[in-house]
Amino acid sequence: MPDFPWPTGAATGIGSLPGTDIVEAQRLIFGELPDLPHLPELPDRGPGADMIGRGAGFLVELPVQLYAGRWQMAPRPGQDARRTADLLERDLDQMTEQGSEFAGTFKVQAAGPWTLAASIDLLIGGRLLRDPGAVRDLTDSLAEGLRRHVEDVRKRLPRATVLLQLDEPSLPTVLAGRVPTESGLGSYRAVDGPGAATVLRTIVERVGVPVVAHCCAPDVPLQVFRDAGAAAVAIDLSLVKDLDPLGEAIEAGVGLFVGAAATAGPAPDGKRVAERVRKLWSRLGFPASRLGEQVVVTPACGLAGASPAYVRAALTACREAGRRLAEV
């Protein structure tokens, strides 16, 4: 089995948290998830802190702007691009201040190329997804931007190992040809699996660190993520229906970030979260000795819609569950 780039019994967050205070958010992450902290995302701060705006902020020489409440390509960088960059810089400064001596594995997140292509409009109208040339340009630009971002984080946290999580919630709809056109009367042509994997592989190969492919949807394209070279996949455990593809990915040495703590409802309990993961692992038929090494426990998805008290309870439960799973 490969050596996984995270400690045994680790837990982490998916990315987003509620509120607007990055100081408190980063303090919470370093405190509750000491084995695998991440750079929090706070979409409550508005445009530029949302998943699409923040992700588009990594594009190199492909500026975007807000128009009628939607992100679209722009002829030149403007106020929206500056705001996005300022928010990220503030987040990185706070990460540096609190984590400069951190010597473990640290995770950063960004929207993947297919989710951006399905969400950002061309200046002439329609999503980038409609134009294969625009998708290629976006992919190359994003790959370079994320390479620079990862390098910046490495310089700021010189003792840390960096992981990149690519968020691809829209990929299943892209593969199924279900992304609606601007009129709502039709859909964009489906992208095939090998083509989708080739685009993702461009990012994976360029960034220079292990990549976690995240998709909290029912039809997680595990084969696409494997073909792209992802070191791990991040899923919502409650949405897993077909165990065979998941088992095949694990058998092939892919790590599993398992979303086992609910993002709403009664406060999660670490023991119960661990039991859910153990049950899945047992159904898959893998030895318990591999569980703590290959699996990272996470909330089911982002926590931006949760209360601060619930967030703390969920992260604490994930941390406790991870440590329980490391006990063979």
Residue 108 · residue 164 · CB < 8 Å: yes
> Distance of alpha carbon 16 from its chain centroid, rounded?
10
Cα distance between residue 17 and residue 40, in whole Å: 7
**What does the pLDDT read at residue 218?**
85
Cα distance between residue 61 and residue 59, in whole Å: 6
**What does the pLDDT read at residue 40?**
97
**What does the pLDDT read at residue 291?**
95
- C-alpha distances in Å from residue 52, one per residue of 111, 209, 274: 7, 22, 32
Cα distance between residue 218 and residue 176, in whole Å: 13
3-state secondary structure 111-179: ECHHHHHCCCECCCCCEHHHCHHHHHHHHHHHHHHHHHHHHHHHHHCCCCEEEEEEECCCHHHHHHCCC
**What does the pLDDT read at residue 183?**
79
pLDDT tens for the chain, 328 residues: list them. 568 999 999 999 999 999 999 999 999 999 999 999 999 999 999 999 999 999 999 999 999 999 988 999 999 999 999 999 999 999 999 999 999 999 999 999 999 999 999 999 999 889 999 999 999 999 999 999 999 999 999 999 999 999 999 999 999 999 999 999 987 788 999 999 999 999 999 999 999 999 999 998 888 999 999 999 999 999 999 999 899 999 999 999 999 999 999 999 999 999 999 999 999 999 999 999 999 999 999 999 999 999 999 999 999 999 999 999 998 6
DSSP 57: T
Cα distance between residue 140 and residue 322, in whole Å: 36
Residue 228 · residue 201 · CB < 8 Å: yes
Can you tell me which residue has the tokens 């991870």?
Answer: 322
Domain range annotation of the chain: 46-230
Can you tell me which residue has the tokens 């994976």?
Answer: 204
Cα torsion through 175, 181, 182, 186, rounded to 10: -150
Helix (H) or strand (E) holding 278, with range, is helix 270-284
pTM, 2 dp: 0.96
Cα distance between residue 95 and residue 8, in whole Å: 23
Residue 262 · residue 268 · CB < 8 Å: yes
Nearest partner of 204 among 139, 269, 136, judged by Cα: 139
DSSP annotation string for 60-73: SS--EEEETTEEEE
